[in-house]
Amino acid sequence: MGFSERYLRPAGVAPAGDWRVKQYQVTVTEQPIEGAVVVAAEAYLPKLMPASAATDATPRVAFSVLHKGVDAVWLMAYAWVHGEIVHSRGASAGLDAPTSFTPLTEPLIGCVWELPALVHERSSWVRHGLQPEHAAVDAYLADVLPEGPVGGP
């Protein structure tokens, strides 16, 4: 089995209902994901946000990874709930219909090219969400993993 790094880029912040979602894209090459796929992913994000967080006082912030791989398009959403817990939910679309997302039925959390975003986001949430007396939401949303190759050992 061969392995090569993929390319990650921060992709701004999108609304998802009352959530603000810091977005990342992962691609096999340095080419960005097509606009229609990005629009469809952003439209699907509200379906991935946790409903159980309605009574949770944690700021409504999350992050997502939209990954156009060699076999599918994956959309993974991670929302901060109950202060320090990350809620994960995902969807995928076939390459033949990359704007038609369906929910994942398996409890997947991400692949080796997506996990660097989780590592960064964990540290970012501690710095901006947990260490200050009051969560610095804008600072958290601005703190992104830099664009470049991702997934190496």
In a domain, 69, yes or no: yes
Q: Is residue 50 part of a domain?
A: yes
pTM, 2 dp: 0.95
72 lies in some domain: yes
Mean pLDDT within 85-112: 96
pLDDT category of residue 2 using cuts at 50, 70 and 90: confident
Confidence class for position 31, pLDDT limits 50, 70, 90: very high
Please give the single-letter amino acid code of residue 47.
Answer: K
Asked whether residue 1 is domain-assigned, the answer is no
Residue 144 has pLDDT above 70, yes or no: yes
How many structural domains does the chain have?
1
In this model, does residue 106 exceed pLDDT 90? yes
100-123 as b/e: b if 16+ CB within 10 A: ebeebeeeeebeebbebbbebbee
Pairing type for strands 148-150 and 72-81 reads unpaired
Q: How far apart are CA 71 and CA 93, in angstroms?
A: 9
pLDDT at 53 over 80: no
Q: Residue 117 domain-assigned?
A: yes
The confidence band for 1, taking pLDDT boundaries of 50, 70 and 90, is low
For residue 120, tell me if it sits in a domain.
yes
Q: What is the mean pLDDT of residues 55-77?
A: 94
Tell me what pLDDT residue 152 has. Answer: 85
| pLDDT given for residue 52 in this prediction | 66
Question: Does 46 reside within a domain?
Answer: yes
**What would the two tokens of residue 16 be?**
């998802």
Q: Which domain holds residue 67?
A: 6-150
pLDDT > 80? residue 56: no
In this prediction, residue 27 carries a pLDDT of: 98
Across the range 24-47, mean pLDDT stands at: 97
